[in-house]
Structure 1
Amino acid sequence: MVGRARRLVVDGGLVAASLDAPGHGGRPRTAHDEHEIDAMQRAMEAGEPVGPIFVRDNGALAEQAVPEWRTMLDALLRLPEVGGPVGYFGINMGTAIGVPLLVAEPRIRAAVLGQFWPDTLVPLARRITVPIEFDLQWGDEHIDRHSGLELFDAFASTEKTLHTNAGRHKELPRFEADSAVRFFVRHLRATA
């Protein structure tokens, strides 16, 4: 996250803020967090699909994180040096949090998302009309192509771009971060 934020600030001239998801980064884990982590690890070791576990767990995280993001935005946008407009950059779990956040938060004007299952997000994505840049790994061992394309297709945005790259789930190319900077400069600095 620090690397992405640095690129947005240094290369894009934007202001960036990051918020650890509940139970992640320096935030304490709950018994529920530990249970879900154990379930994911057991599924991976057994070669079973992890999607249902991630969808369930990340949905619960989003319920906690969306109000936190909105509170952070309230505080940041009161600062004269921050102002607006606002973008959102979240891949994987960041998409699980970002999609419901975009529905709840009209101040977000553009988003970079990707690499998450469509299961619970499609109905929400159909309500999102801001410009979207969406990343998808063509050889993702967890999220099959059809599922990734289903989520991308669900966004109601008239401007949405799909970036597909060869590789597995954790192999999203670094140059996609450069593309995200250009995307946000185009959509946020042009309207500032």
Structure 2
Amino acid sequence: MQSLQFSAESSSNGMVVRDFTVDGVPGVLWSPASGAERAPLVLMGHGGGNHKQHPAMSGRAQRLVTGCGFHVAVIDAPGHGDRPRTAHDEAEIAELFRARAAGEPEGPIVVRYNDHLAELAVPEYVALLDALQELPEIGTEGPVGYWGINMGTAIGVPFVAAEPRITAAVFGQHWPDMLAGKAKQITIPIEFDLQWDDEHISRDAGLALFDAFASKEKSLHVNSGKHKELPRFEADSAVRFFARHLGGAVTAAA
């Protein structure tokens, strides 16, 4: 069993929120305040520069927990949130800011850095899943999904490609470099988000990553707008997607 330790617990809005560490990596688990003894689990990955408690994470968790009765968990990515930055992290972030200030493309730097983070984070997500499935309220029999956009996709694609316990996933908004080969190994149902006017990721790049997935059931959701303008209603669509594939009815709370 992996070393899962809970450090704090609170309840609000129909959810029990528990902070934890697994092998020293900090995370948070959202669970229904009441309901079935066993329920599906959705693992999430946060975006670059964000953290496990970012409003996007807690908002998605609220939809999945109160709307579907699921458990939801996320951990801080390496160099993010409550985890210290290494000299490598600092150098890559400085290079990103330099390129941004100079009006140079950010993609090559982000792709390279995210690939490095994924190498570290994928084993951590495997350890997280191992540990959570030891909990009696989750167990090993229930279905598991993954939801990650941007850097969450950079980490999630290689994780899902290597992890047969994941049965449905939501990805989006990333370059195909470093990910297309892993995407070709994924055959589970996926939903994929793409911004048509993304100033960083070209339409061709976004479509190439979507096309690479070998899934027989895959849905492309394209919206007008820039990189950070992904409509909030796509979160509701993702909740319905997980309800279909993991089991559960979406209530009005979602």
TM-score (norm 2): 0.74
Tell me how far apart the structure 1 counterparts of residues 63 and 167 of structure 2 sit (CA, whole Å). Answer: 19
SS in 1 for 2:164: coil
Tell me which protein shows more helix as a share of its residues.
1
Aligned to 2:231: 173
Q: Give me the CA root mean square deviation.
A: 0.8
- Of 116, 121, 145 in structure 2, the residue corresponding to residue 60 of structure 1 is 116
Aligned to 1:125: 183
Tell me how far apart the structure 1 counterparts of residues 64 and 101 of structure 2 sit (CA, whole Å). Answer: 37
Shift of 1:78: 1.3
Tell me how far apart the structure 1 counterparts of residues 239 and 213 of structure 2 sit (CA, whole Å). Answer: 21
Identity %: 69
Deviation larger for 6-15 or 111-120: 6-15
> Runs (4+) of structure 1 moved beyond 4 Å?
none
Tell me how far apart the structure 2 counterparts of residues 20 and 93 of structure 1 sit (CA, whole Å). Answer: 12
Aligned to 2:30: none
Q: Looking at CA atoms only, which structure, 1 or 2, has the larger radius of gyration?
A: 2
Shift of 1:23: 0.6
Q: Identify unmatched segments of 5+ residues in structure 2.
A: 1-56, 249-254
Shift of 1:31: 0.9
SS in 1 for 2:169: strand
Tell me which protein shows more strand as a share of its residues.
2
Aligned to 1:96: 154
Aligned to 1:4: 60
Aligned to 2:104: 48
Shift of 1:32: 0.7
Q: Identify unmatched segments of 5+ residues in structure 1.
A: none
Aligned to 2:205: 147
Q: Number of aligned pairs?
A: 190
TM-score (norm 1): 0.97
